[in-house]
Amino acid sequence: MTTQSEKIFGIHAVESALSRAPQNILQVFLQKGRQDKTLTQLEHLAQQMGISLQRMDKRKMDDWVKGNHQGIIAEVKVHDATLNENQLLSLVEQQANILILVLDGVTDPHNLGACLRTADAAGVAALVVPKDRSAQLTPVARKVACGAAETVPVVKVTNLARFLSQLKQSGVWVIGTAGEASSNIYQTRFQGPTALVMGAEGSGLRRLTREHCDELIHIPMAGSVSSLNVSVATGICLFEINRQRSAN
């Protein structure tokens, strides 16, 4: 578990932090001259908790964050769950029915955060991403993850194809998703240690990543759209895996 400080912003995000983990809030910044009932309530709540408050110009707050801060920013301590490659491989040896999520080329922090949130709900042991061509755990990703960055380790690997080979050697069945795959998720039996590999929306899995999968599957589509957002597709696949496992 690593600790660092970052700025979160927006009424919902700061309100959530005040209610869930006020001990992690270092300071709250409020926009000068802005009169808002909800902001006033949050100000009073922070004061009651003994949290330092500071008024700031809107222009400086705009420069601090990318997004609509709604007149409130909080500096908080974040505790990210972390594992390295070797620690995850050791975890594979310890958990008989481990479930791992792998994201290949997902560069949107919103999607990373949403996938983390879904992974937490589905009981995923770790989320694996390549060190390059991948979204980072930015404040935006953490905001979307709603706390899942503190519970689901994000494992950054130097060479994704090589790491998939190591997972396979450790007995993990590696299943990738591809629109042109002949089998769909409902025809596939998910048993034993499993790594689900999801590609970026549009470009999908890279060639080397595909080649290191044991099996490729697709989600059947009944409408006119050709693909789903990666976080939505991830949720469908993870919960189909859980459905099958709970039925056994």
DSSP lists the bridge partners of residue 115 as: none
Res 227: pLDDT = 76
Domains and CATH numbers, the chain: 2-80 (3.30.1330.30), 85-247 (3.40.1280.10)
Q: Decide if 183 contacts 215 (C-beta within 8 A).
A: yes
- Tell which residue, 117, 198, 195, 115, has the closest CA to residue 163: 195
With residue 77 as reference, give the H or E element that holds it.
Answer: strand 72-80
Name the 3-class secondary structure at 29.
strand
Name the 3-class secondary structure at 127.
strand
Q: What is the pLDDT of residues 21-73, one digit of tens each?
A: 889 899 999 999 998 899 999 999 999 999 999 999 999 999 988 778 999 99
Measured CA to CA, the distance from residue 246 to residue 215 in angstroms comes to 22
Lowest mean pLDDT among 32-41, 145-154, 182-191: 145-154
Measured CA to CA, the distance from residue 238 to residue 196 in angstroms comes to 8
Q: Decide if 178 contacts 199 (C-beta within 8 A).
A: yes
Q: What is the pLDDT of residues 225-235, one digit of tens each?
A: 767 899 999 99
pTM: predicted TM-score of the whole model, two decimal places: 0.80
Q: What is the pLDDT of residues 203-220, one digit of tens each?
A: 789 999 999 999 999 999
Phi and psi torsions of 176, nearest 5°: -105, 155
Please give the annotated binding residues for S-adenosyl-L-methionine, written as ranges. 199, 219, 228
Res 102: pLDDT = 98
Res 224: pLDDT = 72
With residue 194 as reference, give the H or E element that holds it.
Answer: strand 194-199
Q: What is the percent of the chain where pLDDT is above 90?
A: 65
Res 177: pLDDT = 94
Please, which pLDDT band fits residue 173 given cuts at 50, 70 and 90?
very high
Residue 148 CB-density burial (10 A; 0-12 exposed, 13-18 middle, 19+ buried): buried
Please give the annotated binding residues, written as ranges. 199, 219, 228
Res 44: pLDDT = 94
pLDDT surpassing 90 at residue 125? yes
If one compares 239 and 132, the residue with the highest pLDDT of the two is 239
What value does the mean pLDDT take over residues 6-29?
A: 87
